[in-house]
Structure 1
Amino acid sequence: MRGNAITSLLALALILTACTITPPQRPLIIASPVAHNSAALSQYRGEVARRILERNPSYVLHGAPQAMLRSLVVVAFSIDHRGQLIAASVYRSNGDDGAESTALATLRRSAPLPLPPAQLLDGRGQIELFEDWLFNDNGKFQLRTFAAPQAQTLD
């Protein structure tokens, strides 16, 4: 009986190796949802950054940020499907309490934020974003999303 099972497996293996697989005439093109969401995410991040800048004009730095920034504050924040700010916290900083407070305050002042596209929402109906606040010595900032290139000299 064992010999018959082995013989059957060998016969099946020979049959399978003799089979050919014909590829389709045209390559299949499947649009990646990740690529679509990536474009939507980039556009939405721009809308959020624009809102922050519009709502906080006296804090916005015009021109090139200085070569040696006073502070870089990275803020993580969550937005619900209605554009409401759910949570915000400093994700990374150099310990500049004033810059951290300004970054969080300018974000809160910007709420409600633009409505996020449905395809970007997680299972709880929220989206989590990160933004970088780049501070000059004068306390004014640019957001990394729209930041001008930094100065090259320490003048």
Structure 2
Amino acid sequence: MKTLLTSALAIIVLVSTVFAADGHDHGKTIPGPKGGRVVEVEGGHAEFLVQSDRRVSVVFYGEDMKPVNAAEQIVTLVAEAPAGKEKLEFEKAADQFVSKTALPEGDGYRIVLQIRTTEGAKPQNFRIDYHTETCGKCNRAEYACICTEESGGGHGGHSH
């Protein structure tokens, strides 16, 4: 029993060391370098950003948050707007993907961003509550807010 307990403790220490060694806290909200919402994808991160013309851009970053070339990734988006669901297609533009059309008018609706790292890869779906008003604490659009519950903000139903 003592050996089993010691082995279990050693495994826990080893696993926590491995997760701590990758350079960032997976539970922490990462601010997007361009002001957008960062999500974790296989091999790194992707930043979802709504541009001033309401077209969406997605930029990929490595684990070190340095931009990586937009290459084999496949990006699609479904906006669940009050007027109905609308699918946005993306095209590669320099180092990012940009939607061919703009988001539907208004805000306060759900966006489902789907990312595949390669053609045959399993899709990763990210649900984003799209709100354009600016957070009073972090000065980012609400959909990209980086405030946490501990600081009085957060994505868990807060209202700034």
The two structures have a TM-score, normalised by structure 1, of 0.33
The two structures have a TM-score, normalised by structure 2, of 0.32
Structure number with greater CO (CA < 8 Å, separation at least 6) is 1
* Higher strand residue share: 2
